[in-house]
Amino acid sequence: MRVVLASVAGQQSLVAQLSERVPRMATLSIDTEAFAAVRASQGLDTVQALAAALSLDKGTVSRALNGETAPGPKFISSVLLTFPVKFEDVFTIVDVAAPTQTQTITVPAAA
């Protein structure tokens, strides 16, 4: 969230305080090259075969592979229990900027 102040009084300190409170945003993605190598080594060349090996719905697997959704807990745990890989071998944590929403805060002028 980006904060726009409508007053000059105390502007710098308020911006600093609010910036510290804005949480960092992160998401999870699949390292597609590494995961493709794991799939190939197991002979899982179709989404249907991969879904069956992971005991997950084909649509869920397809959306995670295509980046339409971030891999969820079931997908992650299935991958880690099915294949001889560590989390960091096939998943990447992506730090993304906070949404570009704008909020205007009016700060009363000092008396």
pLDDT tens for each residue of 30-50? 999 999 999 999 999 999 999
Residue 48 DSSP SS3: helix
Q: How many CB atoms lie within 10 A of CB 90?
A: 22
Kindly give, in sequence order, each residue whose CB lies less than 8 Å from that of residue 78, ignoring residues fewer than 6 positions away.
54, 55, 56
Query: Which residue in the block uniquely carries the two structure tokens 């600093």?
Result: 16
Domains of the chain, start order: 23-98 (1.10.260)
Q: What pLDDT digit, counting tens, does each position of 83-101 carry?
A: 999 999 999 988 776 544 4
Check residue 110 and give its pLDDT.
57
Rounded to two decimals, the pTM is 0.64
Cα–Cα distance, 22 to 100 (Å, whole number): 12
Cα–Cα distance, 94 to 75 (Å, whole number): 17
